[in-house]
Homo-oligomer: A and B are copies of this chain.
Amino acid sequence: MSTVDNGVNVQALLDAREALKGAPEAAQFTWRASSRWEKGVHSTTTIEKFFGLGQEQSHKTRAEFSADHPEVFAAEDNGITPIEYLLVGLASCLTAGVASVAQNRGIQLRSVSSTVEGSHDIRGILGVDGDVRNGFNDIKVTFNIDADASKEDIQALVAQSQKRSAVFDALTNPTDVTVEVA
């Protein structure tokens, strides 16, 4: 029995994997956000409920997130920019994956940190040049990991985390987004 403890209940995840093999409908989740405009480009987005395992679910607490533009865009900087939220999602998803895979492989983590950099040519969103895309040009993630494992095993951890990451997939592959007015 492994004495490795990264705080991830891998057995529960393995059990869920087995259970969902025979119950694909329970695996259908819907994540939800509600947003309201404050003023200018400042908005507040709330996350609390979601649907999954066949029923309504709720986070323990309701979370609110402010977004705005910085002062260099002539705004009030009441929160990070919308596009920066994508970097928060990417960093946290890959980090969760590293911890989970390490637990499953019996690797004790001591520390995991990462930096994420997204290159963005803002001529796209400003409409300066129609050939410049609106989103990131590219994103680079760099991990620093201190663990009871070889450099090769650590690289393999990160590679497996990428392979199973929801956010890595959402950013590297297209998703159909429908926008409607009620």
Identify the A interface with B (CB < 8 A).
6-9, 12-13, 16-17, 20-21, 24, 27-37, 39-43, 45, 47, 50, 52-53, 57, 59-61, 63, 65, 67-75, 77, 79-96, 98-100, 109, 111-129, 133-145, 151, 154-155, 158-159, 162, 164-182
Contact = CB atoms under 8 A, between A and B. Distances in A.
B13 A73 contact: yes
A9 to B, nearest CB: 4
* Copies of chain A in the complex: 2
A82 B91 CA distance: 8
Given A33-B115, A36-B113, A134-B165, A86 B170 contact: yes
B82 A167 contact: yes
